Structure 1
Amino acid sequence: MFKSIKADKDSYITDKVVSNTRRTVSNTGNAGTLDVFKLYGASFSGSIPNTEKSRALLHFDLDPLRELVRDNQIDINKQSFWCKLKLHDVYGGQPTPANFVLSLFPLSASFDEGVGRDVSYYSDKDACNWISSSFGVNWIAPGASAGGFSTSSVDYITSSPNIPVTEVTQTFKTGTEDLLIDVTAIVSATLSKELPDSGFRLSFASQLEADQKTYFVKRFASRSAFDERKHPQLVFGFDDSIRDDTPNLSFNHAQRIVLYNYIGDSLENLTSGSNQAAVLGSNCLFLMLTATSSLGSYTQYFTGSQYSYDAPSTAFVSGTYYSDVTVLRSDQYIANSLSISGSVKLTPVWMSLDKTVPYATGSVLQFNLPSSTSARSTDRFTVSVNNVSEQYTQGDLAFARLNIFDQTTPYVKVVRLPVELPGIVVKNAYYQIRNSVTDEILIPFDEDKKSTLVSNDSKGMFFKFDTSCLPSGHSYTIDILIDRNGIKTRYPASSPNFRVV
């Protein structure tokens, strides 16, 4: 899943000299930009050149992330979780430095945003500013300059018990690049309460602030900018894909069978015993595969567990269980069945660990011999994304089905009525979402952390996408990437266009 959170506070503080006066109590909380600069020698105190600086402050409401952690939809301690701060450059022809480094630290002290907007004369007075973080509360050192360990009395945090160095940086070559910086460690530590939830401080790297050069001006869009697409974002992702091998079951190697326990429209945990205790955790149930026919009988038991997105993990998914099974072709019943029909049908029964209480009986599973000794060629695939609505409200969680039809399938039944051709399941398929007019990519393919990896169940392939990442008032389309044996093929505009309002 790929999601984003918008800033709920941002501003920048400065000690810039205007008309021979340092504007240390000026506020820019309602300005349209976040300006990060450093001036050297633009003004003087007598014969001594002044150094004038600015630092941007940002805060994001992390409650949506906390809810995901609470609901076991995400484990912030696992490798698939990532989080990045994204700021959009708003270069408009103004002077811009090149070859510089911006530095980001977590704030120790919270700040008030303020309502100032004058960025010419810095005449609007409010908190936060260079002197105070909020109304009546001063920074430990002017300009939020006091840094140190997380338990110390400081303005920003340089280290904590589990993070030796909290600073993260980005190098800008031309000066017009957007900022996209990894804050996974900081956000994870904030959610675990190792760090305070106070936000971020962004400035030029300390060595640049201390040298005798001018860097003017690196300008980002603020949350007050007119263009919603440019607002600061905390973008994050995690692998919430589910692999279910039910559509492609075969022999002699481990395959995953998944149980979804729906009560009405919601997934609920299985219960056991007179006290209806929930069936939870790893190794909490058995899956029995069984069959009886004129050829004899077959029964095998496999250990099952509650599903977790990033195993091994304690963030278990409610009402979802799995078992990794291996059915051996050498078994006498299996061999006899294959000699007659070329396939074997087994009934799955999920049951208690003492094998006395059946929880659920699934649909008959069919195990087949491999139909081909060669890999399918992706150039014969017809790819379509279905179940996409014409319109979504921003913040909706949408569900889509991915159909991949292999044109080399030897037999396709032709009928009069329109049908969806039966699709195949591939393990490495990813989606991305882009603006259908400008081609701007809002949700990119994520092959590294797999936050856009497509899932599959007994009905085929599917994925969910969060429209909070998609600015309202625009149309979008979905692209698909299929990776088979290292050969990657893109299928642009695989979905109909849809609009977010």
Structure 2
Amino acid sequence: MYLILTASKDTYITNKIIDNNFRAKDANVGKAGTLDLFKLYAESISGSNTSPKELSRALIKFDLQPLYNLTASNLDLNASNFEVKLKMYDLLGGQATPSNFNLVVYPLSKSFDEGIGRDVSSFGDLDSCNFITASYATGSTSIWAASGANSSGLLNSQDIDFITSGNLGSEIVDLGSSQNFIKGNENLEVNLTTVVSATMANVLPDHGFRISFSGSEETDNKTRFVKRFASRQSSNQLKVPQLHVSWDDSRIDHHNDFIFNVSGSLFLNNFQRGNRANLVSGSAAAAISGDDCLIIKLQKGEFTQYITASQHSAGTDSTAVAGLYSGSFAVDLHSSKKTNSKINQVLVDLFNHSGSITFDEYWMSLDESVGFYTGSLNIKPARSTSYSNQPSDLHFRFFNLAAEYSHTAVVTLKVFAEDLAIKDKVSKFPYAKKSIILSNVYYRVRDVKTQEIVIPFKTTNNATKLSSDSEGMYFEFRMEAIPADRSYVFELLVKDYGLNQMFENVSANFRVIS
């Protein structure tokens, strides 16, 4: 799964000197189209000080509710493949840009108001937040512990504005994330996985982030003007500040790609009138749920193997998924060869003769008195594939992609794959052509108008990996992950059977509307 959360509020605060007369400490720029970071040295006069320092710091907040909504069904915050990155996009407007500097991001300890100011020239709009005040509500003013939101300390410390480190469970960890800008025009991309995970676990406060030059670069005698990012007020919604959240939610069913001596997984889905529902058994129609609640029986002649299956779980709390069961196991031919059993020898002889074996597959209650599904499972040797040779002319179709979706839509998109190099079998009767199933296929999303990649191929943690079942390949996509009122196209990357092929514009165009 790959989600993009956009900022719910952002601004920057400054103590810039205006006309060598006063500092704009009470200025607000919450509705400005940019987030400007700068440090000025001896560029103005402040009273008798002929070498004053002026600076700005950015503040940004994201609404994490879309992630909270998924922790009970899809998102496991403790999974090693869970990743969160903050991305902010550089804006080049012909202005000078500093080089070879560092920006650091820390979680805020205090909430802030975005405000309605937009004057970034004379900083004449007064509102909170600003360099002195964090927020204002119902006649009560909350000021920064140190002007410029500059008081730092350990988690749970009193009178601090941002948190530099804290004990998140077993040890003190640094909560800062930094990036070096060599040329100065790079985008910001830092990993915030630890901070966001701790925030969603209610260990850290959910107040957003402070972004600034590193400590020494704020205090040295050097001017750095100006590092400019797009704010959430930008007219280009592809460039607003974003949290890119990704994790592996793929489910790989090996019904069509099970091989001997290697562990694979089988899944069983159960629906009642179109909705997921647990299997029931017995006169009391008791729901079948939990661990080791079913038996999978594989049978070929006199050979039988039993496997226990469990209700599939997902989410941070390993919540059981209604109507979904799975079992993982291996059928070990090597072990069979070491026995003198006549039954196992017949199985080995059958394998040597045909190169694969088709077993009868039964999903049953633990006492084998009730059967829920009967099918077959063809198991092949590891050296074989599902095809006569490696796929050489792959073709993909999204056969349930609509032309338009609402921004709140959650869809399961099905992908059909075929190798056009393989000749269709000749038959006097019509038959349904089955999709090729590949183990490692990834999607990405491209904006049709700008041709920019909005969601990339995410192969490092399998966040955009396609799932598979007995019918083909699919993936769940949440339209809220991409900006509304734009058109997009899906593209695919195949990293399978020794291949590393990219398929551009493989789907039809589709539009997301607000």
TM-score normalised by structure 1 residue count:
0.90
Q: 1:305 aligns with which of 297, 307, 310?
A: 310
Q: Secondary structure at the match of 1:480?
A: strand
Deviations along 1:297-319, whole A, 9 cap, x unmatched? 44321122333569x98355443
Which residue does 2:3 correspond to in 1?
3
Provide structure 1 residue ranges, at least 5 long, that are not aligned to the other structure: none
**Distance in 1 between residues matched to 2:174 and 2:50, nearest whole Å:** 35
Alpha-carbon distance in structure 1 between the residues aligned to 2:428 and 2:9: 58
Q: 2:252 aligns with which of 223, 232, 243?
A: 243
Query: Contact 1:239/1:309 (CA < 8 Å) preserved in 2?
Result: no
Structure 1 residues 395 and 180, CA, compared in 2 at 3 Å: closer, same or farther? farther
Partner of 1:346: 359
Q: CA deviation at 1:341?
A: 7.3
- Give yes or no for contact 1:297–1:333 (8 Å, CA) kept in 2: no
Alignment of 1:46-125 (within 5 A): 46-71=48-73, 73-125=74-126
What SS does the aligned partner of 2:216 have?
helix
Amino acid at match of 2:417: I
Write the letter of the residue equivalent to 2:12. Y
Unaligned runs of 5+ in 2: 337-343
Q: Structure 1 counterpart of 2:164, which letter?
A: T
1:159–1:486 distance in 2 versus 1, CA, 3 Å:
farther
Task: Indicate if the aligned counterparts of 2:278 and 2:287 stay in contact, CA closer than 8 A.
Answer: no
Q: Distance in 2 between matches of 1:172 and 1:495?
A: 37
**Match among 453, 457, 462 for residue 441 of structure 1:** 453
Q: Does the C-alpha gap of structure 1 residues 396 and 121 become closer, same or farther in structure 2, counting only changes over 3 Å? A: same
Q: Give the aligned residue type for 1:233.
A: Q
- What is the rounded CA distance, in whole Å, between the counterparts of 2:10 and 2:232 in structure 1? 7
Asked whether the equivalents of residues 382 and 404 of structure 1 are also in contact (C-alpha less than 8 Å), the reply is yes
Distance 1:372 1:199, change over 3 A: closer
Deviations 1:154-187 (A, max 9, x none): 1100111125100101111222222121111100
Q: Percent identity?
A: 38
Contact kept in structure 1, 2:391 and 2:421, CA below 8 Å: no
1:318–1:102 distance in 2 versus 1, CA, 3 Å: farther
Q: Secondary structure at the match of 1:68?
A: coil
How many Å separate the matches in 2 of 1:94 and 1:341? 72
Tell me the equivalent position of 1:467: 479
Within 1, Cα distance between the matches of 2:66 and 2:108?
20
Once the two structures are superposed, the pairs formed by residues 423-434 of structure 1 within 5 Å of their partners are: 423-434=435-446
The one-letter code of the counterpart of 1:276 is A
Alignment check: 8 A CA contact 2:448 2:487 kept: yes
Q: CA deviation at 1:494?
A: 1.2
Letter in 1 for 2:62: F
Deviations 1:72-93 (A, max 9, x none): x111111111011111222111
Structure 1 residue 389 displacement after superposition: 1.1
1:280 aligns with 2:290: yes
Aligned counterpart, 1:228: 237
Deviations 1:52-85 (A, max 9, x none): 11111111111110111123x1111111110111
Distance 1:378 1:93, change over 3 A: farther
2:173: which partner in 1?
164
- Do the aligned residues in 2 keep the contact of 1:328 with 1:334 (CA within 8 Å)? no
Q: Secondary structure at the match of 2:249?
A: coil
The alignment status of 1:391 with 2:404, answered yes or no, reads: yes
> Which residue does the alignment assign to 2:185?
176
State how far apart, in whole Å, the 2-side matches of 1:420 and 1:478 are: 25
Q: Which residue among 197, 202, 206 is the counterpart of 1:188? A: 197
Distance change (3 Å), C-alpha of 1:222 and 1:49? same
Q: Deviations over 1:254-301 (max 9, x none)?
A: 2211111223333234456748355124x443222245xxxx444321
Q: Residues 364 and 485 (structure 1 numbering): CA distance in 2 closer, same or farther, change over 3 Å? A: closer
Distance 2:80 2:380 in 1: 35
User: Relative to 1, partners in 2 of residues 1:473 and 1:415: Cα closer, same or farther, differing over 3 Å?
Assistant: farther
For 1:113 and 1:278, the matched residues in 2 are separated by 51
Contact 2:294 2:364 in 1 (8 A): yes
**Cα offset for 1:210?**
1.1
Alpha carbons of structure 1 residues 370 and 59: separation in structure 2 relative to 1, 3 Å: closer
CA-based RMSD of the aligned residues comes to 2.8
- 8 Å CA contact 1:442–1:469 kept in 2: the answer is no
Paired AA for residue 321 in structure 1: Y
Whole-Å separation in 2 of the counterparts to 1:168 and 1:88:
17
Q: Does 1:404 align with 2:425?
A: no
Q: Distance in 1 between matches of 2:30 and 2:432?
A: 53
1:360 corresponding residue in structure 2: 372
Instruction: Tell me the amino acid that sits aligned with residue 26 of structure 2.
Output: V
Matches of 1:37 and 1:11 in 2, distance apart? Answer: 14
- Structure 2 distance, partners of 1:474, 1:198, is 30
Q: 2:328 aligns with which of 309, 314, 324?
A: 324
- In structure 1, what is the Cα distance between the partners aligned to 2:123 and 2:189? 28
Is contact 1:271–1:279 with CA below 8 Å preserved after alignment? no
For 2:75 and 2:429, the matched residues in 1 are separated by 46
Residue 70 of structure 1: SS of its match in structure 2?
Answer: coil
